């Protein structure tokens, strides 16, 4: 007895694939595309070594064009619903009563490019897993398979979650020690002059000095200037800083 036929129908071909993201991925090889041996019975029946064209003819309809356009991004995908004929052939099919039927130029060569319809029906997939993936692909793809392109190109990006300020945390924190208020704006003019007289010039501080000390001195100077502008007089005998 001879060796049993490995590929006789669509289920045999799809069972040789790995399913990923609704793609039936044919095992990669040195061949430029998924193809069968020239000695395969399916090749003799369909007149082509292309696994894609054979599955397209079985699961969808007998294509008229010499080339099928792949819509997904996987080079070795053989899912027939991820392929479509070129735009010109699709436009001509849209004018037919049955878009899946034969174009006029196919009628004379139908027997040379695919088995009879009864034989094609007997080759259609029956495995529930294969049927489910093909049905989902058909609904998404549409007749021209452009639904596959839209799915790949316009996949929604995750929407970032809005970030709000914590109502329990202050928005602005002022560092440094607060001085008790005893005049307009806090602290008398005499107290300010005395504090400034005990400190060095801020320019004498080394670069590593804590910035908070410098901020405190500048705050005192600014407050003193505001008091002077407001007409607050110093106590008699108060010395000027630096004298």
- Residue-wise pLDDT tens digits, 74-103: 999 999 999 999 999 999 999 999 999 999
In the structure, what pLDDT confidence band is assigned to residue 222 with cuts at 50, 70 and 90?
A: confident
Window from 86-95, 152-161, 209-218 with minimum mean pLDDT: 152-161
d(CA 44, CA 157): 47
What local confidence, expressed as pLDDT, does residue 26 receive?
96
pLDDT digits (tens, 9 = 90+) for 31-54: 899 999 999 999 999 999 999 999
pTM: 0.61
- Residue 156: which pLDDT band, with cuts at 50, 70 and 90? very low
Ramachandran angles phi, psi of 45, nearest 5°: -75, -35
Average pLDDT along the chain? 79
Torsion of CA 97, 99, 104, 106, to 10 degrees: -150
Q: Which of 30, 28, 98, 24 is nearest to 54 (CA)?
A: 24
Tokens 């790949």 map to which residue?
152
Measured between alpha carbons, how far is 52 from 34 in angstroms, rounded to an integer? 7
User: Residue 224's CB: how many other CB atoms inside 10 A?
Assistant: 21
Residue 196 has what DSSP assignment? H
**Nearest Cα to 132, choosing from 123, 122, 140, 121?**
140
What percentage of the chain has pLDDT greater than the value 90? Answer: 49
Q: How confident is the model at residue 204 (pLDDT cuts 50, 70, 90)?
A: low
**Distance between CA 139 and CA 134 in Å, rounded?**
9
- Residue whose C-alpha is closest to residue 100's, from 49, 71, 59, 135: 59
Cα–Cα dist 68/71, whole Å: 10
């Amino acid at each position: 007895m001879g060796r049993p036929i490995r590929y006789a129908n669509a289920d045999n071909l799809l069972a040789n694939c790995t399913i990923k993201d609704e793609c039936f991925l044919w095992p990669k090889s040195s061949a430029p595309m998924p193809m069968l041996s020239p000695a395969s019975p399916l090749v003799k029946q369909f007149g082509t070594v292309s696994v894609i064209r054979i599955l397209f003819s079985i699961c969808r309809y007998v294509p008229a064009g010499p080339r099928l356009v792949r819509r997904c991004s996987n080079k070795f995908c053989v899912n027939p619903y991820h392929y479509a004929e070129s735009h010109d052939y699709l436009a001509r099919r849209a004018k037919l009563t049955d878009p899946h039927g034969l174009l006029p130029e196919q009628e004379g060569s139908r027997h040379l490019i695919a088995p009879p319809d009864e034989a094609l029906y007997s080759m259609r997939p029956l495995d529930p897993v294969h049927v489910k993936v093909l049905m989902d692909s058909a609904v998404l793809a549409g007749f021209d398979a452009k639904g596959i392109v839209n799915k790949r190109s316009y996949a929604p990006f995750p929407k970032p979650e809005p970030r709000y300020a914590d109502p329990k945390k202050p928005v602005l924190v002022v560092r440094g020690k607060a001085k008790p208020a005893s005049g307009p704006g806090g602290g008398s003019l005499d107290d300010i002059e005395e504090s400034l007289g005990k400190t060095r010039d801020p320019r004498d501080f080394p670069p590593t000095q804590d910035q908070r000390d410098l901020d405190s001195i500048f705050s005192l100077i600014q407050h003193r200037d505001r008091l002077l502008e407001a007409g607050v007089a110093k106590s008699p005998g108060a010395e000027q800083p630096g004298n």
